[in-house]
Structure 1
Amino acid sequence: MTVRVTKTKGHAAEITWEPDDDPQGYLAVSIEGDQLASALAALGATKGLDVDDEGTLALITRHTTELARLLDRRAAVLVVKLRDEHGMSWPQISDRVLGDPEKHSSVRRMYDSGRRHIGY
């Protein structure tokens, strides 16, 4: 994986990637469509964004929700890889991914969701 986020100076960063890192265009779309910027703004705002215009706030919320949904789907697919390709047990996956080896049912739901997204 050659996706890189490099802190350039102060509060600035640069994101770079190779075309093979984004074959479905998710990275490009999230940047070009302002989804990533919106999600990062929401992440940094501890008490909500200071935006007066409800249309702008709704758009930022939509972008953040869309990106969160996509990341949930991608995480579910990665759980499938951990289980099917790497042979990890449910307790191992739940410990490494969710920080709690007892959360078997949560990672199993992620696994089932990931298989559906892959097309199994």
Structure 2
Amino acid sequence: MLNIQPSETQSGTFTVSWTPADDPDGHLFQALTDGHLEGALEALADPVRFGDTAATDAQALARLRSVQWMLERLERRRGALLVALRDRRDADPAAGASWADLAKALYPEDPDPQRLRSKVQTLHAAGLRKAGRPAQ
């Protein structure tokens, strides 16, 4: 399982480790070797205000590419997780997650995540399409 350990001796330092079994499709390895993990973390840490960033244009463009690369893969992962959790629920009503559970997981700050059920169902349908399965 992916392991992330903050340094006990050096602030702002952490170690990430995984085995090939943790990353069977190689997304973590590719993110690391292609610089997308670093670029996405830099973008996350950059206190960008709309219209202002401390990064140069080249740095900002590289960060934008990395964020886009990560977003595309994370959106696929989100869809796959939604489908997996609903498939479990369909097979066994005591397993998986209800639409309300999924809404709470995706939008924990929303005071009434149940109202977001249709939004979660739309994301689920997109996950089905990306998996090549017909929407239910």
Counterpart of 1:89 (choices 76, 83, 98) is 98
Greater Rg by CA: 2
Q: Could you state the TM-score of these two structures normalised by the residue count of structure 1?
A: 0.88
Counterpart of 2:117 (choices 100, 104, 113) is 104
Indicate the structure whose relative CO is greater, using CA pairs within 8 Å and at least 6 residues apart: 1
Listed as ranges, the matches of 1:60-99 within 5 Å are: 60-85=63-88, 86-99=95-108
CA distance in structure 1 between the aligned counterparts of 2:129 and 2:70, rounded to whole angstroms: 19
CA distance in structure 1 between the aligned counterparts of 2:74 and 2:102, rounded to whole angstroms: 17
Q: Could you state the TM-score of these two structures normalised by the residue count of structure 2?
A: 0.78
C-alpha spacing 1:5/1:87, structure 2 compared with 1 (3 Å): closer
- Between Structure 1 and Structure 2, how many residues are aligned? 118
Query: Which runs of 5 or more residues in structure 1 are unaligned?
Result: none
Task: Provide the identity percentage.
Answer: 25
- Runs in 1 of length 4+ with deviation above 6 angstroms? none
Deviations 1:34-68 (A, max 9, x none): 1111111111112264222x233212211111102
CA distance in structure 1 between the aligned counterparts of 2:74 and 2:123, rounded to whole angstroms: 12
Query: Which runs of 5 or more residues in structure 2 are unaligned?
Result: 89-94
1:89 Cα deviation from its structure 2 partner = 1.9
